[in-house]
Amino acid sequence: MSKTIIVSNRLPVRITENDGEYVMSPSEGGLATGLGSIYRDGQNVWIGWPGMEVTEEKDQQRIQQQLAEMNLLPVYLSQEEINNYYEGFSNETLWPVFHYMAVYAKYEQPYWDSYYKVTEKFRDIILSVAEPDDIIWIHDYQLLLLPGMIRAVIPDISIGFFLHIPFPSFELFRLIPWRAELLEGMLGADLLGFHTFDDSRHFINAVTRILPINASANVMMVNDRAVMAETFPMGIDYDKYASLSKEKEVKDQLRELKETFQGMRMILSIDRLDYSKGILQRLQAFELFLQLYPEYMEKVVLYMIIVPSRDNVQQYRDLRDEIDKLVGGINARFRTNNWHPIHYFYRSFPIETLSALYNFADVGLVTPMRDGMNLVSKEYVASRNQNNGVLILSEMAGASRELIDAIIVNPNNIGAITRAIEEALVMPEPEQYRRMKQMRQVVAKFNIAHWVKLFMDRLQEVKQIQQSMLAR
């Protein structure tokens, strides 16, 4: 019996230390939900980093045993590897370049060396459990070299790879000193998945410009093996978000929100702390909105949640300080005794609270500078059971290709975001219904289960195509 091995930088549980005790908390992330039914089944397994350094061998073993009961297998990283592979090459080299912010990128040899070595670590752990007829599905930019390293040892194994962030245009990708090695690593997969057609086109273009490999449409021949690059826009668990609002906890919180913000319109913004999310520009747009439309004073709030992330990376710390300053400045400028325009929270919230907010907010404001997909926009739509509410969405988010009934904006155009906020607040209800219904149909149909099935089925087909080509 063949098994499926899921691999990502992070495991779907996170370990934290509390008074010398290690505590495991499951992740509510979209990928964890979507792949839950797969990795928990039979001999299947999910391999990844548990999110913190565990130094003592006896602790490592104990955690490993506990994780094994959940079909999880940890890859432990030392502090030096966390600094150089995770914060370094993954988040200070690849992340900025792939998000078109190349000025932030650092090209450091020790980062690359660590990225390479940690990938070998992942490879060895995979090899300790993999059999030639298994299926391996590798996720995201932290593991671009992994498909190639596994292929070199088990030449016929099925490998799928999905990139959750944008793949940049060749002109950006070429800046990376190790560009050829990265592409060769990725091409170890049989099927490479991207969120948008542009991402897969950029990847194929980079391959043909940088490597001596030709492509015919989406097919690249790598040592007589047909490798395919295709588009699979990731979805969310629609039913979960659509039904959460019926839970008592969510209803209670919604009632509280209604009391607190009586007579007020709410604009909701939820992001991980990241310079790719366009947070400063969004705040500037809200400030301009208050200036240009003073009739909304005391009648509207921007409810802004920023989830802490990567706070050991300098740019993220700097961004946090800038957000603090800007929010403080705007509130000081416009607040009255009864009202302040921005309610800013720098922490994460349970899904019930998010659901209550998604239900309550008149406007979902999602304006990243670049985003592979952006699942928050889909969560907002899925939560709107009454079919009202307006989504304002950046054209730079992958989701904008599907959610075409949102008010689509260029996130650099502060004036356009300002006008979009006004347009959203005055949009007649029938127009809101028409747009929201269309978007809800899309999010319901192309949900996370659909995404997983489409990718897995296609990987199997690609393997069959490869075999029939060899037989010819």
Nearer Cβ to ligand G6P, position 105 or 326? Answer: 105
Nearer Cβ to ligand G6P, position 7 or 226? Answer: 7
Q: Footprint of ligand G6P on residues 366-395 (CB under 6 A)? A: none
**Count of residues that interact with ligand G6P, criterion CB under 6 A:** 7
Q: Which of 4, 5, 10, 330 binds ligand G6P (CB under 6 A)?
A: 10
Minimal distance, residue 165 CB to ligand G6P, in Å? 5
Nearer Cβ to ligand G6P, position 241 or 360? Answer: 241
For 448, list phi and psi in degrees, rounded to 5. Answer: -65, -35
Does 371 participate in catalysis according to the annotation? Answer: yes
SS (H, E, C) the chain: CCCEEEEEEECCEEEEEECCEEEEEECCCHHHHHHHHHHCCCCCEEEEECCCCCCCHHHHHHHHHHHHCCCEEECCCCHHHHHHHHHHHHHHHHHHHHCCCHHHCCCCHHHHHHHHHHHHHHHHHHHCCCCCCCEEEEECHHHCCHHHHHHHHCCCCEEEEECCCCCCCHHHHCCCCCHHHHHHHHCCCCEEEECCHHHHHHHHHHHHHHCCCCEECCEEEECCEEEEEEECCCCCCHHHHHHHCCCHHHHHHHHHHHHHCCCCEEEEEEEECCHHHCHHHHHHHHHHHHHHCHHHCCCEEEEEEEECCCCCCHHHHHHHHHHHHHHHHHHHHHCECCECCEEEEECCCCHHHHHHHHHHCCEEEECCCCECCCHHHHHHHHHCCCCCCEEEEECCEHHHHCCCCCEEECCCCHHHHHHHHHHHHHCCHHHHHHHHHHHHHHHHHCCHHHHHHHHHHHHHHHHHHHHHHHHC
Q: Which of 123, 151, 164, 419 binds ligand G6P (CB under 6 A)?
A: 164
Nearer Cβ to ligand G6P, position 27 or 388? Answer: 27
Nearer Cβ to ligand G6P, position 10 or 384? Answer: 10
Q: Does 270 bind ligand G6P (CB under 6 A)?
A: no
Torsional sign, CA 257, 247, 365, 384:
negative
Q: Does 140 bind ligand G6P (CB under 6 A)?
A: yes
Which one of 99, 164, 195, 202 is the catalytic residue? 164
Which one of 199, 237, 271, 371 is the catalytic residue? 371
Q: Which of 165, 279, 357, 363 binds ligand G6P (CB under 6 A)?
A: 165
Minimal distance, residue 213 CB to ligand G6P, in Å? 26
Nearer Cβ to ligand G6P, position 174 or 310? Answer: 310
Q: Does 309 bind ligand G6P (CB under 6 A)?
A: yes
Minimal distance, residue 260 CB to ligand G6P, in Å? 30
Minimal distance, residue 9 CB to ligand G6P, in Å? 6
CA 302: distance to chain centroid? 23
Minimal distance, residue 95 CB to ligand G6P, in Å? 8
Q: Does 190 bind ligand G6P (CB under 6 A)?
A: no
Minimal distance, residue 306 CB to ligand G6P, in Å? 13
Minimal distance, residue 455 CB to ligand G6P, in Å? 16
Q: Does 60 bind ligand G6P (CB under 6 A)?
A: no
Nearer Cβ to ligand G6P, position 311 or 429? Answer: 311
Q: Does 310 bind ligand G6P (CB under 6 A)?
A: yes
Minimal distance, residue 308 CB to ligand G6P, in Å? 9
Residues annotated as catalytic (active site), given as ranges: 164, 371
Interface contacts to ligand G6P, rule CB under 6 A: 9-10, 140, 164-165, 309-310
